[in-house]
Structure 1
């Protein structure tokens, strides 16, 4: 979206507080009234592309032909690919967000919307699964995705879509997520015989769950 890109460019160049709605609207080729009708505020516009991205996530989940566990991995890949395609924009947005506490809070809320969409989908498609298993799986998937996304933004050449796929496959094996034919989700042959058990207290953050899973998987 042009208005998102222009707003982030202006925030990067002039600072979030110093940039006016009039400047954003002018750069995006729209009137001030149109801006407020579509976005409402400067805070809204910087995350506006997440709305269309969340819609893509919903479409991916709804249209996926494989098992539900794999659908969540596919949706996570959609999100990662979106930011990977325009890494420069993702880098500038991350820099702006880190400088403004209100934007950091908004980003956290936005992140949990993806997690909520994944959990709701799995609960609906797998009504007999224990809720704690769904929560653990989604926490590990989103935590790993967010870690690699941050690494990609920081310039880590190894933070690629292929790396994400490998790590999500390892999580599926570690947490025992199974496809409709009994094989592990995204199961590379080299991982089929691995079983990893990770414990954590209730209320553990998604990033911490992902870190513990990763630590266990690194053990020989």
Structure 2
């Protein structure tokens, strides 16, 4: 099965599973019901997915694969490459908005699925951080982690707005917000030099000023 055909097949199963979860509840929906709705056998289902939980996040697996492929081939500025990878993820979710919206409704009702979602978000962050570690070994690790955390959080915030149908959550909005996130290569502001002067308590202020001015002129 070709790459695109396999992805479309999995998305079809995901779509049917999420529809059933939304209508009947996650716990009340059996694997056999998902297979019937998707027009596949139980055996085919388990060749593609390990469990009902895997179905819910299957499109994320596809997204992570595509993001990794994009980064592997990326040239130019690594910080920008991470942003473009995130934008690619967001663009695909806008095309699969119904699936993303149904998952949002299902996941928010099931604590175990919310925990799985947190793990999935971390996998995006780890992918982006590992990429920056390989491309920018001289950058402090904290700067890389802070950047990927901010990029991922920005994406997720706007994604939730998008699936809820709220304004200000288009690809252009994401691109604008990502551009505002500081890159770790920005140099810190230069530190100002301090001069410490020691003088007798009873020295006249004017004499102190003259002495400091003379010393500064000689530095």
Q: Shorter-chain-normalised TM-score: which range?
A: 0.7 to 0.9
Residue 8 in 1 paired to residue 15 in 2? no
Residue 47 in 1 paired to residue 57 in 2? yes
CA RMSD of aligned residues (A): 1.6
Cα separation, 1, equivalents of 2:171 and 2:114: 25
* Equivalent pair of 2:143/2:184 in contact (CA under 8 Å): no
Report the count of equivalent residues.
Answer: 178
**Residue in 1 that maps onto 2:175:** 165
SS in structure 2 at match of 1:99: coil
**Structure 1 residues 56 and 111: alpha-carbon distance in aligned structure 2, compared to 1, 3 A threshold:** same
Instruction: Give the 4+ runs in structure 1 shifted more than 6 A.
Output: none
* Mapping of residues 57-72 of structure 1, within 5 Å: 57-72=67-82
Q: TM-score, normalised by structure 2?
A: 0.77
Cα separation, 2, equivalents of 1:157 and 1:84: 13
Residue 87 in 1 paired to residue 97 in 2? yes
- Gaps of at least 5 residues in structure 2 are 1-10, 190-219
Cα separation, 2, equivalents of 1:130 and 1:49: 32
**Residue in 1 that maps onto 2:84:** 74
Cα separation, 1, equivalents of 2:47 and 2:72: 30
- Gaps of at least 5 residues in structure 1 are 183-194, 196-220
Cα separation, 2, equivalents of 1:143 and 1:52: 20
Cα separation, 1, equivalents of 2:163 and 2:172: 16
| Higher Rg of the two aligned structures | 2
Cα separation, 1, equivalents of 2:49 and 2:185: 39
Greater Cα shift, 80-89 or 2-11: 80-89
Structure 2 residue aligned with 1:118, among 116, 120, 128? 128
**Residue in 2 that maps onto 1:100:** 110
**Residue in 1 that maps onto 2:156:** 146
Q: TM-score, normalised by structure 1?
A: 0.77
**Structure 1 residues 176 and 51: alpha-carbon distance in aligned structure 2, compared to 1, 3 A threshold:** closer
**Residue in 1 that maps onto 2:216:** none
